[in-house]
Structure 1
Amino acid sequence: MKKNSQYGNESISALKGADRVRKRPGVIFGSDSLDGCQHAVFEILSNSIDEAREGYGNEIIVTRYADHSIEVEDHGRGVPVDYNANEKRYNWELVFCEMYAGGKYENTGGDNYEFSLGLNGLGTCATQYSSEYMDVTVRRDGAEYSLHFEKGENCTGTKTGFKKKKYTGTDTGTKIRWRPDLEVFTDIQIPETYYLDVLKRQAVVNPKLRFIFRNETPEGIKETEFYYENGISDYVTEIAGDKALTSVQFLSGERRGKDRSDKPEYKVLLNCAFCFSSSISRLEYYHNSSWLEYGGSPDKAVRSAFVSAIDAHLKQNNKYNKNEGRISFQDVSDSLILVTSCFSTYTSYENQTKKAITNKFIQEAMTEFLRSGLEIYFIENKAEADKIAEQILINKRSREQAEKARLNIKKKLSGNLDLANRVQKFVDCRTKDVSRRELYIVEGDSALGSCKQGRDSEFQAIMPIRGKILNCLKADYDKIFKSDIITDLLKVLGCGVEVKSKSNKELSNFSLDNLRWNKVIICTDADVDGFQIRTLVLTMLYRLTPTLIEEGYVYIAESPLYEIECRGKSYFAFDESEKSEVLKQLDGKKYNIQRSKGLGENEADMMWETTMNPESRRLIRVMPEDAAATSEMFDLLLGENLSGRKEYIAENGWQYLDFADIS
């Protein structure tokens, strides 16, 4: 404990001016990392969008420069920067240096920015404060104004704080170029993909507003344009492509109300475009042009309205089976392409970064608006309504079947390996220390016998594969989990399965902590059939338990190709080059050479020496570089190219495993 520390009236301090942002960027932008830097860009962009939506300008140009500076130019009315008699200050101070000021706060009875993306009043000022520099050019009132800021300070060098010259052109607007400061943000290298995503989204929710993105590259400026004549309707049509099950519907309406009786009344404009598809799903929510990544009120409204309206249609038309349960929103969303774009004069965001809204009235108004719109749509479009009903019921019944399969599989794979739940012919080891336990997966009863006799029973267990394992690359999950060979092996592994499938996502109950083994070793004969069985086992593990491969738990035991006997001693060669080396050592001596027998024909001591002894065996650790490359390899080995597969297995079978571990 510090004895001399003081905490008195002089101990309290407040951040002032630019320090309010520069020292605490996370408070304003949600982060001091690249996410926060990107949010600062959106704050500037949103002001230009607000201008255009008010009817001033139909084009916004965004430039990403190679030095990581950004420029946003619009054709709006131009930001007022001259002297403000009401405030007795220059407007540039209010806009660029005052945290809560701007045209969206005016209290003069005007109607500027009724539906604004930037009502918080922080954006322009906060971005200026967090910049290494910011250059502003404004064209309005027959003049061109220019200002220069550095690290939150006006450094224009004039008494007024700006330079002003006569402008005779008719085009008004604002151009702002700035470079985010690395003293504020940990990263300012905003990728091209961010701009392409944001500008496309803004074009979607702002019909007839053209966005031009200019990206400076070593080859010059590359331009990309975004424009949607009919806004979200065109966007839904684009997403659906030729996979649409129904026509695109557009609903629009206006409501007025309060979030609470003691709160002020406000107006909300509601827009929704949607269609149904048998193969595509997408839900996107926007409010005052801002993409609501987490939805909030609109998402809750959509969930309630669509389930209610579709459920009512199913009941009215006797589509449910007897005693069948109600549909869920998952059943609807699996086939729904929907985009909402709403605007309100008052908005309650979940936080400063505007990723969700919480307005109670917007949720209630939107629920009623969508429900009534769907009811009318279903009445007026009976054929499409029946198509939707059939598809949603297919989704529902598929989900329920997958859930039933998941529960059955979980029950089947759970439980300890005791006498009441024994896997046929599985031979366990004695130790319970998982860090030592090794599982050998072998082919057939004959290999089981030789491996069982040749192993160290303290830490080596044997799991035989009875017959040919199912090709898990091609088979569906229902068929896979009906295979006793596969479910028995999964029981022995103990870690469960991780099914990477949208329709079967509930099936995943994988836990690496429950794995009973330190090494899972695939041990097959060194011939074409052995390679095929090895590949089928690997494919099963890759599809059902890929983490075991990714984390390096899976190995292949190499078997020798040749056994060379000389004067009562045996030498083993794993390939042609090793055979040549052995024969050189035996030069002049009499020897006998033969292809190595199958594992089941090997003596116990030979099995121990060549395949199971940690001091002399050769294990190949399966460590795929990446999942895509592994998938391509499995497609080659197990796909439709039969001749290619045979040639590859015969000539290169072992070479697709890159990392060898000799332990």
Structure 2
Amino acid sequence: MVTAEYSAHHLQVLEGLEAVRKRPGMYIGSTDSRGLMHCLWEIIDNSVDEALGGHGDRIEITLHGDGSVEVRDHARGIPVDIEPRTGLSGVEVVFTKLHAGGKFGGGSYAASGGLHGVGASVVNALSERLDVEVDRAGKTYAMSFHRGEPGVFAGPTPDAPFTPFDKSSELRVVGKARKGVTGTRIRYWADRQIFTKDVAFGFDELEQRVRQTAFLVPGLEMVVRDERGADPVETSYRFDGGISEFAEFLAPDAGITETWRLTGSGTFTETVPVLQPTGAMVPTDVERECEVDVALRWGTGYDTVMRSFVNIIATPKGGTHQQGFEQGLMKVLRSQVDQNARRLKVGNDKLEKDDILAGLTAVLNVRLPEPQFEGQTKEILGTPAVRQIVSSVVTKQLAARFASTKRDDKAQTSLLLDKVVSEMKSRISARTHKETQRRKNALESSSLPVKLVDCRSNDVADSELFIVEGDSALGTAKLARSSEYQALLPIRGKILNVQKASVSDMLSNAECAAIIQTIGAGSGRSFELDAARYGKVILMSDADVDGAHIRTLLLTLFFRYMRPLVEAGRVFAAVPPLHRVVVMNPGTKPHETIYTYSEQELHALLTKLTKSGKRWQEPVQRYKGLGEMDADQLATTTMDRAGRTLRRVRVEDAELAAGVFELLMGNEVAPRREFIVEASDRLARERIDA
């Protein structure tokens, strides 16, 4: 804070940084964990820009136990000579002057992520302490800052006594650097006066960002250390395959195309103010070059995974480059569908963007000097000319892929056209039948599956749909249910494995279609959770291996095509008993019935009864299926809310769950076989039969 006792030197240094401390959200987005991580990205991105320029191939990030973070690189090092206009060293200019740096069109960086020149100075202003060391010209230079002001600390901690420089600053020489060794080390403690209480650096988020950067800069090694716990953790990433490897890593499903690489460039002219030697800013026409690099592939699923970058800085909210990418895709695929309309049986329907993006995994990276972003957080690219350049590159390269005479290319492009047309037809079908997928009144119930035994209540929150295995179980369940709020839908044996099947195969399967129609909320992208006709969906299958298989197939259907229902915690598995033990009581006292749900539970019960001197009817009844129970038994154990047990199906981590479903139910047999062989001694029957 600026006080009356500060000298003119202090005021000059802090006049810009004081604005950052008063309005931190303007520069880093927020003062919560997101803003804290953004500060770290600013420092890391400076080192990455050096690596992009061919200076240094290793960056180390360390989270220290005292709450500080350190970033080391082996690049050229921040300039230490005196900057003539300010009379300050290059280090002090970078860390105390807003809009100062080497990224303003001067040739230091052809294309960089940092471009406003405020990154390092903003982090400095929002840090209780920042230490920087630079190796250059055989010497190690050092400088420290306290909330943006340069000076000297009397100890190694942020709360050590601090003496600010008075008349002039000093860039200290603290050691010698080996010949040819250059680099920068920055360690800082975030200011707790600025950031909200208890915010901390997220190791998982940091690791994810570092891995992403390593994908985008082939050959760069990124090392992350977390020394905050009892056992330090270290991970290291280096990838030489670039964004093609990134797209393969991100893809959530099996591919119907290989990963295609589309590259190209274009030029555009923009008018920018250029600083003249006299100090005047003169508008000048500058020709820019924009390089475009895209890796994309389509898979069997319908989820879209899109990552866009500008000079390797992520733009999660897109911008003109992503608009151009989607524009190019639309142009090529619409043209190809029109050319193959007869084979694809398209009619007069037109592809929409969602049809093309379904199942697409794409990584888009553009490189250009001084891109225009919307705000310092750089989440949206605003440079208008980039849209047409990206669109042109994508159009040209993708059209060439469709025109290729290679056998593999022809097979893959044919599969892709089939997929996007299938998505289009599914969307049109879903829209056409949207109204029939709502809860029907008595006059409209004929549009629901014939086998559905509906409930009387119109209260969605209170209603339950039991999906039961076979007609025999249906007969017993009819007598056991509460017809007021419990509906029944029988399915015939094992349904289609939708992890392997296409969307069209799934929709044409009678059992899958009946389930989707009964729930009434659509499927896939058109699924609307609020339209679901039942508050709970309960899978009630036999307590054997076949029943577990049926339950797994049903869960695969719900996970892939009605995932919001699972994420909302509205899908359950019924837990029917395995055994019925009738304990005989002496005299006229009625016998006691006890149900057990596993072999272990049965043996424990019989051991307990034996020790108590009690007898039971032999043989103990073992239920092979729900149909063996009478209605009272099924109601008491499995359907009556007062005594039943339900197992809620949750998706805590959708990506991890998707990987497990693909492993256990997908097309690739080898990984599944390897998993079964390796995990056979670790998996209990209860975990498999679930």
- Give the structure-1-normalised TM-score: 0.71
Instruction: Give 1:622's match in structure 2, choosing from 647, 668, 672.
Output: 647
> Measured at CA, do residues 398 and 242 of structure 1 come closer, stay the same or move farther in structure 2, by a change above 3 Å?
closer
> Measured at CA, do residues 654 and 416 of structure 1 come closer, stay the same or move farther in structure 2, by a change above 3 Å?
farther
Matches for 1:361-376 after TM superposition, within 5 Å: 361-372=385-396
SS in 2 for 1:400: helix
Q: For 1:509, give the aligned amino acid.
A: E
> Measured at CA, do residues 324 and 586 of structure 1 come closer, stay the same or move farther in structure 2, by a change above 3 Å?
same
Rounded Cα–Cα distance in structure 2 between residues aligned with 1:430 and 1:330 = 38
2:131 is equivalent to residue 152 of structure 1: no
Deviation at 1:373, TM superposition (A): 5.7
Matched with 1:101 is 100
Residue-pair matches, total: 609
Contact 2:255 2:297 in 1 (8 A): no
Q: For 1:119, give the aligned amino acid.
A: L
Matched with 2:236 is 224
Matches for 1:95-174 after TM superposition, within 5 Å: 95-104=94-103, 111-113=107-109, 115-140=111-136, 144-156=140-152, 157=163, 160-165=168-173, 169=179, 171-174=181-184
Contact 1:622 1:657 in 2 (8 A): no
Matched with 1:298 is 321
Rounded Cα–Cα distance in structure 2 between residues aligned with 1:455 and 1:202 = 56
Q: CA offsets, 1:507-559, max 9 Å, x none? A: 52333x744456858486xx75xx74586357525632664693475544548
Matched with 1:574 is 595
Contact 1:271 1:341 in 2 (8 A): yes
> Measured at CA, do residues 467 and 383 of structure 1 come closer, stay the same or move farther in structure 2, by a change above 3 Å?
closer
Matched with 2:28 is 29
Matched with 2:3 is none
Q: Which runs of 5+ in 1 are unaligned?
A: 1-14, 500-504, 659-663
Instruction: Give 2:529's match in structure 1, choosing from 502, 506, 510.
Output: 510
Contact 1:469 1:486 in 2 (8 A): no
Rounded Cα–Cα distance in structure 1 between residues aligned with 2:341 and 2:455 = 59
Deviation at 1:403, TM superposition (A): 2.9
Rounded Cα–Cα distance in structure 1 between residues aligned with 2:528 and 2:336 = 36
Deviation at 1:32, TM superposition (A): 1.9
Deviation at 1:64, TM superposition (A): 1.1
SS in 1 for 2:187: strand
Matched with 2:521 is 496
Q: CA offsets, 1:443-492, max 9 Å, x none? A: 666766666566665x4546363754636577746565556666556666
Contact 2:332 2:399 in 1 (8 A): yes
Task: Between 180-189 and 471-480, report the one with greater CA deviation.
Answer: 471-480
Matched with 2:160 is none
Rounded Cα–Cα distance in structure 1 between residues aligned with 2:630 and 2:323 = 68
Deviation at 1:207, TM superposition (A): 6.6
Deviation at 1:416, TM superposition (A): 0.9
Instruction: Give 1:416's match in structure 2, choosing from 440, 465, 468.
Output: 440
2:372 is equivalent to residue 348 of structure 1: yes
Rounded Cα–Cα distance in structure 2 between residues aligned with 1:373 and 1:519 = 47
Q: Which runs of 5+ in 2 are unaligned?
A: 1-13, 153-162, 273-281, 597-601
Deviation at 1:357, TM superposition (A): 0.7
> Measured at CA, do residues 453 and 426 of structure 1 come closer, stay the same or move farther in structure 2, by a change above 3 Å?
same
Structure of larger gyration radius: 1
Deviation at 1:656, TM superposition (A): 7.8
Contact 2:297 2:361 in 1 (8 A): yes
Rounded Cα–Cα distance in structure 2 between residues aligned with 1:282 and 1:314 = 23
> Measured at CA, do residues 163 and 313 of structure 1 come closer, stay the same or move farther in structure 2, by a change above 3 Å?
same
- Give the structure-2-normalised TM-score: 0.69
Deviation at 1:126, TM superposition (A): 0.7
Q: For 2:365, give the aligned amino acid.
A: T
Deviation at 1:246, TM superposition (A): 7.9
Rounded Cα–Cα distance in structure 2 between residues aligned with 1:656 and 1:361 = 55
Matches for 1:469-548 after TM superposition, within 5 Å: 470=495, 476=501, 494=519, 496=521, 505-511=524-530, 514-516=532-534, 520=538, 522=540, 532-533=546-547, 536=550, 539-540=553-554, 543-544=557-558, 547=565
Rounded Cα–Cα distance in structure 2 between residues aligned with 1:36 and 1:247 = 36
SS in 2 for 1:619: coil
SS in 2 for 1:124: helix
Contact 2:266 2:389 in 1 (8 A): no
Q: For 2:488, give the aligned amino acid.
A: M
Task: Between 555-564 and 388-397, report the one with greater CA deviation.
Answer: 555-564
> Measured at CA, do residues 363 and 146 of structure 1 come closer, stay the same or move farther in structure 2, by a change above 3 Å?
same
2:71 is equivalent to residue 47 of structure 1: no
Rounded Cα–Cα distance in structure 2 between residues aligned with 1:136 and 1:380 = 54
Contact 2:465 2:489 in 1 (8 A): no
Contact 1:28 1:126 in 2 (8 A): yes
Q: For 1:358, give the aligned amino acid.
A: G
Rounded Cα–Cα distance in structure 2 between residues aligned with 1:564 and 1:220 = 57
Q: For 2:420, give the aligned amino acid.
A: K
Rounded Cα–Cα distance in structure 2 between residues aligned with 1:454 and 1:206 = 63
> Measured at CA, do residues 623 and 506 of structure 1 come closer, stay the same or move farther in structure 2, by a change above 3 Å?
closer
> Measured at CA, do residues 349 and 414 of structure 1 come closer, stay the same or move farther in structure 2, by a change above 3 Å?
same
SS in 2 for 1:293: coil
Deviation at 1:147, TM superposition (A): 0.8
Rounded Cα–Cα distance in structure 2 between residues aligned with 1:557 and 1:316 = 56
Rounded Cα–Cα distance in structure 1 between residues aligned with 2:641 and 2:401 = 71
Q: For 2:417, give the aligned amino acid.
A: L
Contact 1:71 1:178 in 2 (8 A): no
Percent identity reads: 19
Contact 1:53 1:206 in 2 (8 A): yes
Matched with 2:155 is none
Matched with 1:86 is 85
> Measured at CA, do residues 409 and 178 of structure 1 come closer, stay the same or move farther in structure 2, by a change above 3 Å?
same
Rounded Cα–Cα distance in structure 2 between residues aligned with 1:452 and 1:613 = 13
Deviation at 1:296, TM superposition (A): 1.0
SS in 2 for 1:295: coil
> Measured at CA, do residues 657 and 629 of structure 1 come closer, stay the same or move farther in structure 2, by a change above 3 Å?
farther
Q: For 2:168, give the aligned amino acid.
A: T
Contact 1:413 1:496 in 2 (8 A): yes
Contact 2:582 2:617 in 1 (8 A): no
Deviation at 1:46, TM superposition (A): 3.3
Instruction: Give 2:569's match in structure 1, choosing from 550, 569, 577.
Output: 550
Matches for 1:256-655 after TM superposition, within 5 Å: 256-257=269-270, 265-274=285-294, 277=297, 279=299, 284-309=307-332, 311-312=334-335, 323=347, 334=359, 339-345=364-370, 347-372=371-396, 386=410, 389-403=413-427, 406-407=430-431, 410=434, 413-422=437-446, 424=450, 432=458, 437=463, 459=484, 461=486, 463=488, 465=490, 467-468=492-493, 470=495, 476=501, 494=519, 496=521, 505-511=524-530, 514-516=532-534, 520=538, 522=540, 532-533=546-547, 536=550, 539-540=553-554, 543-544=557-558, 547=565, 550-551=569-570, 555-556=574-575, 558=577, 561-562=580-581, 567=588, 569=590, 571-575=592-596, 576=602, 595=621, 618-624=643-649
> Measured at CA, do residues 102 and 407 of structure 1 come closer, stay the same or move farther in structure 2, by a change above 3 Å?
closer
Deviation at 1:178, TM superposition (A): 1.9
> Measured at CA, do residues 48 and 380 of structure 1 come closer, stay the same or move farther in structure 2, by a change above 3 Å?
same
> Measured at CA, do residues 515 and 172 of structure 1 come closer, stay the same or move farther in structure 2, by a change above 3 Å?
same
Deviation at 1:358, TM superposition (A): 1.2
Rounded Cα–Cα distance in structure 2 between residues aligned with 1:604 and 1:237 = 52
Contact 1:70 1:178 in 2 (8 A): yes
Rounded Cα–Cα distance in structure 2 between residues aligned with 1:357 and 1:112 = 22
Rounded Cα–Cα distance in structure 1 between residues aligned with 2:687 and 2:221 = 51
Contact 1:80 1:91 in 2 (8 A): yes
